[in-house]
Amino acid sequence: MHETKYIFVTGGVSSSLGKGIIAASLAKLLQARGHRVTIQKLDPYINVDPGTLNPYEHGECYVTDDGAETDLDLGHYERFLNVPTSQANNVTTGKIYQSVIEKERRGEFLGKTVQVVPHITNEIKERIQILGKSGDYDIVITEIGGTVGDIESLPYIEAVRQMKWELGDENSMVIHLTLVPYLAAAGELKTKPTQHSVKTLMESGLKADVLVCRTEHELNDDLRKKLALFCNVRKEAVIQSIDASTIYKVPNLMLQERLDRVVLETFGLPVEEKVDLTAWNNFVTRHQNPQHQVTIGLVGKYVELQDSYKSILEAFIHAGAENEVKVKVDSIHSEFLKPEEAQKKLGHLDAILVAPGFGERGIEGKIEAVRFARENKIPFLGICLGMQMAVIEYARNVVGLKNAISQEQNPEAAHQVINLMKEQKDITNMGGTMRLGAWACQLEKGSKVYDAYKEVDIKERHRHRYEYNSEYKEQLEAAGLKTTGVNPKTGLVEIVEIADHPWFVGVQYHPEYKSTVLKPHPLFVAFVKAALDNNQTKK
Ligand code: GLN
């Protein structure tokens, strides 16, 4: 077996150029050529993980099977590759320092001064190689967050420099993602920012092997030559990444630009003609040629920032393609959803999804959206906090438990139909202490969820502290809110449904994290189908 190859993806000129999508697209192509690939994200911030970050700061917090709270780019990696990621796929400066400091306290560096070089850089190098050494992958792509030249990225760039020296050019390479801006006044694409960012990289001793240039206009031959000459790369290694209408087109764009070939050639690996993207392309075709359209309301409090609900929006794309439907998502701000406006704001929707969330802001609007969906028989999916709101709404308006609420929003309330698990009661640390990662769930045959999954035993990912309070189970069930999924070990209620409703499902877990291009999530597929049925009967 040949050694694991390492590809480092750095970014220059500007943030938000889409390093994650380029990394995922390259990985997809390498996978389609038969290589076993994984992608890792290194984040230079000091939070140990993004679990404690507000979505406005950093978008959605993605969760892996093994319970890591991670950067949303890991979601792209899984959606593109259909291979699960884990704790090892996301490393932050916080994690690196935490581990080095713990080692120092244990006496592992006894007698030595602990420094950024070599201790922090060694720790970074170890974390990069964990995936490679597992033996599970031929190629590890490591995406370095931030932009070269940032103070906080320096130890990462130095670690990469050392690794390149140690592994050699045949086993490691750097892909630098940059921006080639178009100046309308001059009518020209400009290469100078790219030249400067490559120069910044070189000041740290790192040479870019491949340049991927984000651009709004085609790069002509002269421009490619110029970039190659001034940035010290082969001309074929200047790759254009032109704006695409959907991220799912990027792998094919990179294939046309021969990014995968350039990478394999650089490593001295054979480049065969065969690239199997059949299933991927079937999806793209279905996604781009919908037969119908449905409008689904996404009720949440972070709707101003699309990235806050990234996995949900992507799951709609996968499920839409599966149903040959374009899912138009209408964002509805739960904070401003008043009962008297419900008809105006929600009346046109084919289905309603109440989103996950934390805290008190926007709660009543979410409950209102549940009521509207329940009473008007509009297909409804409640995720995590959305499921909790469905239980609260039912308790209040059907069972008649006035002011029923979750302990999270009112710890003094008389009817806390959602409350803390025993295990959560004494927890004082906020970071990494929720019920996280994949948990088993057993489905009730004959339920909507069973119809969707077509199996009894499922595993889904969680990220929450509060739970359905089983003291109210009898009352809620008697009134018609059925439990159709429980945790087989603990008996915790994971799914509720209203039998007497076209499609009303609340799930304590996050199905969106597991939806991929090749495996659209069954619950999203069923939900979009219910939205389509509703849309068609209205006609
Ligand atoms: N805030 C709720 C809890 O902690 C729900 C969390 C979520 O929606 N992810 O239980």
CB atoms within 10 A of CB 421: 15
- In this prediction, residue 263 has a pLDDT band, given cuts at 50, 70 and 90, of very high
Looking at residue 55, what is its pLDDT?
A: 84
Atom of ligand 1 at shortest distance to CA of 384?
Answer: 8
How far apart CA 41 and CA 202 sit, in angstroms, is: 22
**184 class by beta-carbon count within 10 Å (0-12 exposed, 13-18 middle, 19+ buried):** exposed
Tokens representing 463?
Answer: 């990220």
Q: If you measure from the C-alpha of residue 399 to the centroid of ligand 1, how many angstroms do you get, rounded to a whole number?
A: 23
Region 23-47 average pLDDT: 96
pLDDT for 522-539, tens place per residue? Answer: 999 999 999 999 999 987
Q: Is the pLDDT of residue 390 over 90?
A: yes
Average pLDDT (34-38) is 96
In this predicted structure, what is the pLDDT of residue 304?
Answer: 85
pTM: predicted TM-score of the whole model, two decimal places: 0.95
Q: How far is the CA of 356 from the centre of ligand 1 (A)?
A: 6
For the beta carbon of residue 514, count every other beta carbon within 10 angstroms. 25
Residue with tokens 């764009």: 253
Is-contact 332 346, C-beta < 8 A? yes
Q: What's the one-letter identity of residue 274?
A: K
Burial class (CB in 10 A: 0-12, 13-18, 19+), 267: buried
Supply the pLDDT for residue 433.
82
Ligand 1 centre and the CA of 485: distance in Å?
18
Q: What is the pLDDT of residues 310-364, one digit of tens each?
A: 999 999 999 999 999 999 999 999 999 999 999 999 999 999 999 999 998 999 9
- HSE (side-chain half, CA atoms, 13 Å) at 507: 27
Closest C-alpha among 141, 103, 105 to residue 122:
103
Catalytic residue numbers? Answer: 384, 510, 512
What pLDDT does residue 57 have? 82
Output the pLDDT for position 274.
Answer: 87
| Mean pLDDT within 130-142 | 95
pLDDT band (50, 70, 90) for residue 2? low
Which residue's C-alpha comes closest to atom 6 of ligand 1? 464
Task: Calculate the dihedral angle through the C-alpha atoms of 184, 185, 191, 194, rounding to the nearest 10 degrees.
Answer: -70
For residue 1, is pLDDT > 60?
no
**Structural contact between residues 317 and 287, judged by C-beta atoms closer than 8 angstroms:** yes
**Mean of the per-residue pLDDT values of the chain:** 95
pLDDT at 471: 94
> What angle, rounded to 10 degrees, do the helices at 154-167 and 121-133 form?
50
Q: What is the dihedral of CA 505, 508, 509, 512, to 10 degrees?
A: 40
pLDDT reported for residue 344:
95
* Statement: residue 307 has pLDDT above 50: yes
Q: Note if the bond before 118 is cis, omega within 30 degrees.
A: yes
How, if at all, do strands 481-486 and 493-498 pair?
A: antiparallel
Pocket of ligand 1 (CB under 6 A): 356-358, 384-385, 408, 463-466
Residue nearest to ligand 1 atom 8, measured at CA: 356
- Grouping H, G, I as helix, E, B as strand and the rest as coil, residue 172 is strand
Q: Which atom of ligand 1 is nearest to the CA of 383?
A: 8
> What is the rounded average pLDDT of the residues 110-117?
94
Instruction: Measure the CA–CA gap between 388 and 413, rounded to whole angstroms.
Output: 15
Q: What is the mean pLDDT of residues 515-520?
A: 97
pLDDT, residue 306, reads 84
How does residue 54 score in pLDDT terms, banded at 50, 70 and 90? confident
Q: How far apart are the first and last CA of the chain?
A: 60
Q: Helices (H) and strands (E) in the chain — how many of each?
A: 18, 23
Chain centroid to Cα 300, Å, comes to 17
